[in-house]
Amino acid sequence: MDTQVAIIGGGPSGLLLSQLLNRAGIATVILERSSRDHVLSRIRAGILEWGTVELLREAGVGARMEAEGFPHDGTFLTDAERMVHIDFKGLTGKQVMVYGQTEVTRDLYDAQDAMGTTILHGVEDVSIHDLDGPVARVDYTLNGERRSLTCAYVAGCDGFHGVSRQTIPEDKRREFERVYPFGWLGILSRTPPVSHELIYANSPHGFALASMRNANLVRCYVQVPLSDKAEDWSDDRFWAEFRRRLPSETAARLITGPSIEKSIAPLRSFVSEPLRWGRLFLVGDAAHIVPPTGAKGLNLAASDVFYLHQALTDALQTGSKGGIDAYSDRALARIWKAMRFSWQMTTMLHRFEGEDSFAERMRGATLAHLAQSEVARRDLAENYVGLPF
């Protein structure tokens, strides 16, 4: 065999899995469609659950996160009337870490380079074969030349649009999906955060999120119709809309500046079952998508990796197949709970086009209940900081 585990996709799932397997003495090769610069230019998630933080430490990539990340003890949920503080630390004893996906990915690339792992960028036409035989094979094209890689297992870490999930025959897959009728327009700007913790705002004009990367770099989002394009939104238009969706005292403190990145992400809930097909295992966005409202996408990828790296290590080092047999059910049990939380946060905080006045009152009542009930706040906090894995 050319390697023990072939990993399709060099995003956070593929890199973290490879890093953990390599540290356990297992050989991997990563096949990535894009250039490294392209992967590192994607601005995505910003919040790490503490379980993800600990897994990154275990993978030996915690140093820069410790130095440059910001632990947060809570977050705010608001509407025009209320500012509800969710005290994660007080309610659950746990925190989350503000540290961007781009930085996590950069740290993982640096660690993988130090390990000497083969990461092939610019691979095309990946196809996966022989998943029910003794040796699996991955074919791909690199620099115009068709090549093959043989391996014991294949990890499909190639995101929502990858080939891995499609390799499982359609009649053996069950897909569950909810597409939301809006997207998030996000900007990155070198300005100070409007609040020391994140603010998730449900306003009569739609949802807004005030997030950050550091003391002089913010990531801010507004809910927009799916028909909008990022080019439709000048910086001035973005900030005016963002300001309009924040409570007035907060809006009064807002400092604006030019955007250095601006993009729109559609919102979707999606799960494909099972996560295993013979020697192939699906991980992260290849298997499931959550709307970003609960900050769960990257964190779910991390828990999949946690389960799979243990399972593959057992299978390859002790011959014990219990872990790989249980992987799909184990990961899905956690995935569905994060699906529920992300859906609930999305429903609670967004305006749905054409909704009735009842829906608006339900959102108001949910926030009012959170303001008044510690039990409700603890439930939200427990999910936001991350269920155990």
Residues that bind ligand FAD (CB under 6 A): 8-14, 31-34, 39, 44-45, 101, 123, 126, 157-159, 161-163, 265, 284-285, 292, 295-298, 301
Chain positions 187 to 206 lying near ligand DHB, rule: CB under 6 A, are: 198
SS (H, E, C) 48-115: EEHHHHHHHHHCCCCHHHHHHCEEECEEEEECCCCEEEEEHHHHHCCCEEECCHHHHHHHHHHHHHHH
One of 211, 269, 299, 366 touching ligand DHB (CB under 6 A)? 211
Q: How many C-beta atoms lie closer than 10 Å to residue 246's C-beta?
A: 22
d(CA 368, CA 353): 23
Residue 87 or residue 314: which is nearer to ligand DHB going by CB?
87
For the CB of residue 36, give the shortest distance to ligand FAD in the complex, in Å.
10
Distance from CA of residue 165 to its chain's centroid? 18
Residues of this chain, 294-333, that bind ligand DHB according to CB under 6 A: 295
In terms of Cβ atoms closer than 10 Å to its own Cβ (0-12, 13-18, 19+), residue 285 is: buried
Rounded to 5°, angle at Cα 85 from 81 and 87:
170
Closest to ligand FAD by CB, 148 or 317: 148
Q: Which does 31 bind (CB under 5 to 8 A by kind): ligand DHB, ligand FAD, none?
A: ligand FAD
200 is a catalytic site residue? yes
CA 363/CA 316 separation, integer angstroms? 50
> Is 292 among the catalytic positions?
yes
Which of 72, 137, 165, 219 binds ligand DHB (CB under 6 A)? It is: 219
In the chain, DSSP finds a helix count (H) and a strand count (E) of 13, 20
With binding defined as CB under 6 A, does residue 3 bind ligand DHB?
no
Q: Which is nearer to ligand FAD, 14 or 51 (CB)?
A: 14
Pairing mode, strands 259-273 and 136-142:
unpaired
Is 384 a catalytic site residue? yes
The sign one gets for the Cα dihedral 54, 58, 64, 66 is positive
Active site residue 180: no
Q: Mask of contacts with ligand DHB, 266-295, x by CB under 6 A?
A: --------------------------xx-x
Residue 99 appears among annotated catalytic residues: no
- The binder of 163, among ligand FAD, ligand DHB, none, by C-beta within 5 to 8 A per type, is ligand FAD
Catalog residues that contact ligand DHB under the rule CB under 6 A.
Answer: 45-47, 198, 211, 219, 292-293, 295
The residues assigned a catalytic role are: 72, 200, 292, 296, 384
